[in-house]
Amino acid sequence: MVLLMTNRYAIIRSGVVENVALWDGVAPWTPPQGTTLAANPPASVSIGWLYDGANWTAPEPPPVPVPAEVPQWQARRALHAAGLLASVETAVAAASQDIQITWEYAPNIVRNSPFIAALAPALGLTDAQIDDLFRAAAAIT
């Protein structure tokens, strides 16, 4: 009886783990064209990990999606936590009556709305900052 050792290999393309495979090193097998193999990577290594030839790095988690809308109370609490609530109230007071009505009575604040489009420039907020505020608001319980 012949006992063959099976090794674990990371299949790497352009520094990113494309797959992980077990191979006995004897049976004929050719890795996909344009890839390299790294023998016996740490057990935690899986698809998406990065490898620079010496070090393994876990991939960054995907970004939290931006909610399409948040309840008004969460929006106000997120603005308060960010130190922006007073500035928003000042900007709303100087804005059109439509903006004032939305701020006062809308049950939800919609990310891609005329309300946000009108206030963002007045507050000097970037799209990324607004997205972060919506994420922060959605996380408030």
Asked if 111 and 69 touch (Cβ cutoff 8 Å), the reply is yes
Query: For position 25, what pLDDT does the model report?
Result: 74
Instruction: Give me the residue label for tokens 């996380």.
Output: 139
Q: Which SS3 state, helix, strand or coil, does residue 134 take?
A: helix
Q: At 107, phi and psi to the nearest 5? A: -70, -30
Query: For position 140, what pLDDT does the model report?
Result: 97
Asked if 71 and 30 touch (Cβ cutoff 8 Å), the reply is no
Residue 37: partners with Cβ closer than 8 Å, 6 or more residues away: 9, 10, 11, 12, 31
Query: For position 2, what pLDDT does the model report?
Result: 52
pLDDT, block means (10 residues), the chain with 141 residues: 71 96 82 91 95 95 94 98 97 95 97 95 95 97 93
* Residue ranges with strand state E in the chain: 7-13, 16-23, 36-39, 50-51, 56-57, 69-71, 108-110
